[in-house]
Amino acid sequence: MPEGDTIHKLARVLGPALAGAPLESVATRARRGAVLVEHGAMTVRRVSARGKHLLIALEDAAGRAWRLRTHLGMYGTWHQYAPGAVWHKPQHQAWAVLRLADRVLVCFHPRELAWQLLSEGRADPERLDARVGPDLLDATVELDEVVQRIRTNCDPARPILDVLLDQSLAAGIGNIYKSEVLFLQGRYPLTPVGAITDRDLLDIYCDSARLLRRNLKPGPRITRARAETDEYLHVYGRGGQACRTCGTPVERALLGEHLRATYWCPSCQPGNLDRPRDHQ
């Protein structure tokens, strides 16, 4: 699943290319196996990101406002092609096709796609509001409010790794940042959130927001203060390798509500694991 910075960078790339651009046609697929439905010519009004959702605001010839929302999940991608070029993936995997005079943009097998005529109601915006918490890449985000949101909505026994991945609490942290920020904070991944003080919880989210903002620039994702070539991360993807800080082998296990791969240093992030470890 892409981190929040990936979607914001995608919006930054697509925004200048699409904002105000006339689309010769727009087509979307409502679900897997459904046919692509043509919606006619449109004009792009704005491209933005909210957490892991890419939002494209459009207007049709009658002046009606539409919105295309995509969540890429683990396997979704946006591709750009010249008109008439052969696509790298089969057409039945395309869920959205935006055709301009000089290019074609295609979204392949996203986790989720919503196409809505906004003037007919706010069902989808309201659903998004309920599912997506404050965006950590929003310049106006109040991290103290994120901490209070967690205290109000979370069982104190819930592990911190699951809290960080819960996009309804704060949007943007993915599996990479989860492991990296917990390492930077010296926090064992299965620590109950109730055992973490408000001050320390705020520090975790401050670090998360800092790393997300740092990685909005082009190039590889980097979480280390000074990173050598191909050594950009502290622990993620480094199971069994020496911790860059203390030399202890980095641990890897499938942890949390969704059994996501989690990496940590048992010396820098002490704690007890009550299940078998996986060094793959």
In tens, the pLDDT along 168-226 reads 999 999 999 999 999 999 999 999 999 999 999 999 999 999 999 999 888 888 898 87
**Residues 200, 250 within the same domain:** yes
The CATH number linked to 162 is 1.10.8.50
Rounded CA-CA distance 212/219 in Å is: 13
Is 278 part of a structural domain of the chain? no
The whole-model pTM stands at 0.78
In DSSP notation, 221-276 reads ---SSS-BTTB--SSTT-TTSBPTTT-PBPEEEEETTTTEEEEE-TTTS-----S-
Which residue range(s) make up the domain with 225?
A: 143-264
**220 lies in a domain?**
yes
The pLDDT tens digits for 19-59 are 889 999 999 998 888 899 999 999 999 999 988 899 999 99
User: How many domains are contained in the chain?
Assistant: 2
Q: Which helix (H) or strand (E) holds 201?
A: helix 198-214
- Residue 210, both tokens: 């800092």
- Is the pLDDT assigned to residue 278 strictly greater than 50? no
150: buried, middle or exposed (CB in 10 Å: 19+, 13-18, 0-12)? buried
Active-site residue set: 2-3, 52, 260
Do 102 and 192 have their domain in common?
no
Q: Are 15 and 123 within one domain?
A: yes
Residue 275, domain member (yes or no): no
Residue 197 falls inside a structural domain = yes
**Domain contains 279:** no
20 belongs to a structural domain: yes
Share of the chain above pLDDT 90, in %: 66
**Strand boundaries in the chain, DSSP class E:** 22-28, 37-50, 53-60, 65-71, 77-81, 94-99, 104-108, 112-117, 251-255, 260-264
Of residues 184, 186, 162, 190, the one with CA closest to residue 175: 162
58 and 167 together in one domain = no
Considering the domain architecture, whether residues 101 and 153 belong to the same structural domain is answered as: no
Among candidate residues 220, 227, 215, the one with its CA nearest the CA of residue 173: 215
